[in-house]
Amino acid sequence: MGEESIVMFPSAGIGHIVAMVELAKLIQTHRFSITILLTTGLLDHPSIDVYIRRISAVHPSISFLRLPRTTPATFTTAVSFAAKGLSFNKRNAPHVAATLTQISKTATVKAFVIDLFCASTMDSASSMGIPVYFFFTSGAAVLALYSYFPKLHEESSGSFKDMVGVELHVPGNAPLKAVDMPEPILDRDDPAYWDMLDFCTCLATARGIIVNSFEELEPVAVNAGAQGTCFPDPTRAPRVHYIGPLLAEPQQSGSLSCNYFKFHIKSQITKSTIK
């Protein structure tokens, strides 16, 4: 078949797109072409089009493909913005499946790279025999926390937001107050909680997890991932690849006003990472 390609799918919003593009810049240094799928219908902004035109001009091996417009779901009760965003990503799953099928007709898709909030698209890639990798930008400690979240869910019956005075013990993390858990998993009455539970359960089933961190920065959390203690079954924990620090370069005038800076890249993804 044709060229070897990697397909990436970030969540809606410029922050997720920029992060995925920075990873694509590393991967393109090897033999792969990159296609980044973009949603349409939530958090759209003209600055995104400006940004992707600039990236496409400078990095011709990175291309962008917009999925068909998707209408965000409506809810009968008040829900968090996280719930709306996660639902929107799930509604795009059929478009992602169709697009992967189409790309596979002319290229060998070596990997499908997604962020945590796009885990609902895993099944379509896996059913096609495409290895799925998560790109986790929040660091090793948060990865350990989210990987352990399904176990915390099993051990409690109420919402973390109501557990005043309760301290949680998570491998790779200092003791955490339950009320300080990340917003999307604070309230069991919010749909975001249940979507996040499903997504965090998917972490352990990926071919690998790419993390924007490095061992010297988070040794305890990195060790928890290496030992598998933060995953449901330590003997079947996915391989974790640390490729940070990876931050975007300052944007040129007239483009995005994101305040990012690019530091020295400690390590790069090698051909053995995705194969």
Active site residues: 16, 115
36 φ/ψ angles, rounded to the nearest 5 degrees = -105, 120
Partners of 109 in beta bridges: 5
For 143, phi then psi, to 5°, come to -60, -45
- Contact (Cβ atoms closer than 8 angstroms) between residue 26 and residue 131: no
What distance in Å separates the CA atoms of residue 13 and residue 20, rounded to the nearest whole number? 11
Report whether 38 contacts 17 (CB < 8 A). Answer: yes
- Whole-Å CA distances, 273 to 11, 13, 24, 131, 234: 23, 27, 14, 11, 20
Q: How many residues does the chain have?
A: 275
